Amino acid sequence: MRRRDFLTLAGGGVALAPLAAWAQQPAMRTIGVLGGATASSEDSRVAAFMQRLSELGWIEGRNIRFEYRWVEGREERYAEFAAELVRLKVDVIFAIGTEAVLAAKVATTVIPVVFPFAGDPVATGIVASLARPGANVTGLSNLAADLAAKRLGLLREILPNLNRLAIVFNAESPAATLEMRELATAARTFGVDTVPLEVRRTGDIAPAIQSLNRRAQALYVVGDPLVNLNRVRINTFALVARLPTMYGQRQAVEAAGLMSYGPNYVELSRRAGDYVDKILHGANPADLPVEQPTKFDLVINLVTARALDLEIPPTLLARADEVIE
């Protein structure tokens, strides 16, 4: 071999080496995260989701990246941010909450959408059925509306003479409105009158609770991103009004709510990671059934109970999955 040919081949080898190394790098996939609250309020849930993806081989910065869009309780931003994620051509949209899912569904019929929890996905029009979601959307249900009667029953164990219940709910949320109606129906069977308190933004919360003026004995808070973002505010006004509170999410009880009963939202977010993994490996979201939780946690805050001079029945405490003291 002539020296010139050797140098040419050697030079070509050097030039090709970086190309070969580049070709071996895994393709970077992008997950668009659309949430109704803030990054800090959803931190534990997003962390669980990302941790599960990591366990499945999706490492941030190596083969996956995230684009975050947080609505921060402003309903008008859902459509705008969903459209942004579609323009970015993300591979999957991780939509946190019913409103986020509905906005993503309107924005795209092509990009897969996975929700970690949503209230009654069929009744709110998110999926065609739980077994066969159809289209490009799938995920997990939180059974929020289905648990309304159970939560009311638990509240009545603490307040056996409960006859007037206030309900705070986001009137802009289809899932929250559905749960409010289910709760009102259950309340009638118990002989309990309800006082619906509609809120649409943070500024509505204080006037709504203050308007009760002792017209209720307890406050049921229908969960959604807006109230989750304002859980400390709600609990503060409820304590001032001396109203025991019932929630569907543990986070609110950590923030001085009295009691919650519902699925573990961190675990639901973690399970959503499996859906995203399957989709990134080629699964069709239309063929991935919507899962429903099978375990529900009862959490009671005894500090709040003492502040309200409430005695929690020992039988109820014995059934609690967690007691905050």
pLDDT digits (tens, 9 = 90+) for 50-83: 999 999 999 999 999 999 999 998 888 999 999 9
Spell out the domain ranges in the chain.
Answer: 29-142+264-287, 145-262+297-324
Instruction: Give strand pairing partners of 93.
Output: 32, 113
Confidence at residue 325, expressed as pLDDT on a 0 to 100 scale: 93
Q: Is the pLDDT of residue 203 over 90?
A: yes
- Superfamily (CATH) of domain 29-142+264-287: Response regulator (3.40.50.2300)
Confidence at residue 119, expressed as pLDDT on a 0 to 100 scale: 81
In this prediction, residues 280-295 reach a mean pLDDT of 95
* Higher-scoring residue by pLDDT: 76, 322: 322
Distance CA 30, CA 58 (A): 11
What proportion of the chain, given as a percentage, has pLDDT over 90? 81
Q: Is the pLDDT of residue 92 over 60?
A: yes
Confidence at residue 289, expressed as pLDDT on a 0 to 100 scale: 97
Confidence label for 16 from pLDDT (cuts 50, 70 and 90):
very low
What proportion of the chain, given as a percentage, has pLDDT over 70? 92
Confidence at residue 89, expressed as pLDDT on a 0 to 100 scale: 97
Q: Is the pLDDT of residue 5 over 80?
A: no
DSSP-H helix ranges across the chain: 3-24, 43-55, 77-87, 98-107, 148-158, 174-189, 205-210, 225-229, 231-240, 250-254, 265-280, 302-307, 314-319
Class of domain 145-262+297-324: alpha beta
In this prediction, residues 279-300 reach a mean pLDDT of 95
Confidence at residue 26, expressed as pLDDT on a 0 to 100 scale: 61
Pairing of the two strands 259-262 and 297-301: antiparallel
In this prediction, residues 74-94 reach a mean pLDDT of 96
Distance CA 201, CA 227 (A): 9
Distance CA 266, CA 279 (A): 21
- The model carries a pTM of 0.86
In this prediction, residues 280-291 reach a mean pLDDT of 97
Closest to 199 (Cα-Cα) out of 106, 96, 73, 34: 73
pLDDT digits (tens, 9 = 90+) for 205-259: 999 999 998 899 999 999 998 998 999 999 999 999 999 999 999 999 999 999 9
Confidence at residue 75, expressed as pLDDT on a 0 to 100 scale: 85
316: tokens are 């109820």
Confidence label for 13 from pLDDT (cuts 50, 70 and 90):
very low
Which residues, in sequence order, are CB contacts of 293 under 8 Å at separation 6+?
140, 141, 142, 143, 263, 264, 268
279: tokens are 């989709």
Confidence label for 10 from pLDDT (cuts 50, 70 and 90):
very low
Confidence at residue 25, expressed as pLDDT on a 0 to 100 scale: 52
